[in-house]
């Protein structure tokens, strides 16, 4: 079965398939689709998860063992296989085709395979055809530019907001086809404005002028690991009465990007390829490269957990000084 990303939610409501294959050129859609599948699996009682990331010296019998072994506690499990370069090689292709042929749809376990954008030769490979016949394939590509305003309108509707065609086209033109950037702008609007109709003036102000003390400088200071500068910028934002949800969004979004880059590099992927996959372009590339070199996955995971605590504080579910939490998160990604 082949699905579009926007058809996945309805399919999951009808029940989990035993095999999902995600591929495409849009990281946001891949991430969201994978998160939806993992969430649905947890809600269906799939309590164990095993993540496998292939690399240059990967041994494919590891995947065979993971997919074939019963859970240690007799529970259902999710095997999360990630192939960053999209090329399993001869041994991997044979292992994937064999897995597809032997897949038992009634076993109760779930397999999620994530791939990058695939060219036509890979799509015609025996292993990919076998996976396509046995499972549910979701191609996660960005919509054409002409359809981007409609995509933005759908995302706004999820947060009970709407805007005119002119306003939607303004956002689409500003992000230039980058769905991650569009997603970030839409999140800003949910933080800054109540549900309902958004005016063009509100959207222009949010997109172009929301950072009065310049949260972009805070973003760059985080990447540079410049803790003293982060402290000064946070003090300035606090003094200007900046909305804490917006500041947290700025910090968490950058840390999340670094965490994904670090995970890709740890899995054997080339840093340039990882940057491209995350849509990191321009001068920010060099900053992200240096940040990934100095940071470890454990520290970035800790920073994300810290950001989750800050989010609970903003929502009134935890006590503390939110601005001090912002500083503490910044210190976790400082230069060593």
- Domain check: are 8 and 69 in the same one? yes
- Domain check: are 233 and 194 in the same one? no
Pair of tokens at residue 314? 């903003």
- Domain check: are 292 and 228 in the same one? yes
- Domain check: are 227 and 284 in the same one? yes
Boundary-marking domain end, from 181, 209, 237: 209
Of 335, 288, 287, 333, the residue nearest 306 (C-alpha):
333
- Domain check: are 201 and 224 in the same one? no
What are the backbone dihedrals phi and psi of residue 143, each rounded to the nearest 5 degrees, phi first?
Answer: -70, 155
Question: Which single residue is written with the structure tokens 């042929």?
Answer: 101
Looking at residue 214, its pLDDT comes to 64
Domain range spanning residue 293? 215-332
Boundary-marking domain end, from 139, 157, 179: 139
Q: Which helix (H) or strand (E) holds 206?
A: helix 200-209
- Domain check: are 154 and 102 in the same one? no
- Domain harbouring 93, CATH code: 3.40.50.300
Of 135, 54, 67, the residue nearest 99 (C-alpha):
67
Q: What is d(CA 113, CA 23) in angstroms, rounded to the nearest whole number?
A: 9
- Domain check: are 21 and 85 in the same one? yes
Looking at residue 268, its pLDDT comes to 87
Number of domains present in the structure of the chain = 3
196 and 162 in contact (C-beta within 8 Å)?
Answer: yes
* Residues with pLDDT less than 50, the chain: 71, 210-213
Three-state helix/strand/coil letters over 258-319:
HHHHHHHHHCCCCHHHHHHHCCCCCCHHHHHHHHHHHCCHHHHHHHHHHHHHHHHHHCCCCC
Looking at residue 213, its pLDDT comes to 44
What Cα–Cα distance (Å) separates residue 20 from each residue in 8, 34, 99, 137, 261?
Answer: 10, 9, 13, 6, 23
Looking at residue 211, its pLDDT comes to 45
Angle (CA) 246 143 87, round 5°: 100
Boundary-marking domain end, from 183, 209, 235: 209
- Domain harbouring 261, CATH code: 1.20.272.10
Residues 6+ apart with CB under 8 A from 162: 153, 156, 196, 197, 198
Q: Where are the beta strands (DSSP E) in 169-246?
A: 196-198
- Domain check: are 30 and 130 in the same one? yes
Q: Which helix (H) or strand (E) holds 103?
A: none
Residue 33 burial (CB count, 10 A): 25
- Domain check: are 196 and 264 in the same one? no
**In terms of pTM, does the model score above 0.85?**
no
Looking at residue 82, its pLDDT comes to 92
- Domain check: are 20 and 133 in the same one? yes
322 and 329 in contact (C-beta within 8 Å)?
Answer: no
Q: What is d(CA 200, CA 206) in angstroms, rounded to the nearest whole number?
A: 10
- Domain check: are 102 and 45 in the same one? yes
- Domain harbouring 183, CATH code: 1.10.8.60
- Domain check: are 73 and 177 in the same one? no
């Amino acid at each position: 079965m082949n699905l579009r990303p926007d058809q996945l939610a309805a399919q999951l409501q009808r029940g989990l398939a035993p095999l999902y294959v995600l591929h495409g050129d849009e990281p946001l859609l891949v991430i969201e689709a994978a998160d939806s599948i993992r969430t649905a699996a947890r809600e269906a009682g799939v309590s164990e998860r095993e993540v496998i990331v292939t690399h240059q010296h990967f041994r494919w019998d590891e995947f065979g063992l993971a997919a074939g072994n019963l859970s240690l506690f007799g529970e259902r499990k999710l095997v999360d296989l990630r192939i960053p370069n999209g090329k399993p090689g001869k041994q991997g292709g044979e292992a994937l085709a064999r897995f597809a042929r032997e897949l038992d749809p009634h076993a109760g376990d779930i397999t999620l395979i994530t791939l990058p954008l695939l060219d036509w030769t890979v799509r015609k490979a025996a292993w990919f055809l076998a996976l396509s016949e046995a499972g549910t394939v979701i191609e996660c590509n960005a919509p054409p530019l002409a359809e981007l305003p409609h995509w933005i309108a759908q995302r706004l509707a999820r947060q009970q907001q709407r805007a005119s065609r002119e306003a939607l086209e303004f956002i689409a033109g500003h992000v230039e086809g980058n769905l991650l950037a569009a997603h970030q702008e839409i999140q800003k609007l949910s933080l800054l404005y109540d549900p309902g109709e958004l005016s063009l003036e509100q959207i222009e102000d949010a997109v172009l002028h929301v950072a009065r003390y310049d949260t972009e400088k805070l973003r760059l200071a985080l990447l540079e690991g410049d803790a003293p500068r982060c402290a000064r910028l946070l003090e300035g934002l606090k003094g200007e009465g900046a909305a804490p949800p917006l500041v947290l969004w700025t910090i968490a979004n950058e840390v999340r990007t670094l965490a994904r880059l670090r995970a890709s590099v740890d899995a054997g992927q080339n840093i340039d390829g990882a940057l491209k996959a995350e849509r990191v372009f321009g001068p920010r590339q060099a900053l992200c490269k240096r940040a990934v070199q100095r940071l470890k996955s454990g520290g970035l995971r800790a920073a994300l957990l810290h950001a989750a605590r800050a989010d609970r504080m903003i929502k009134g579910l935890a006590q503390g000084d939110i601005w001090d939490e912002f500083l503490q998160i910044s210190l976790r990604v400082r230069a060593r």
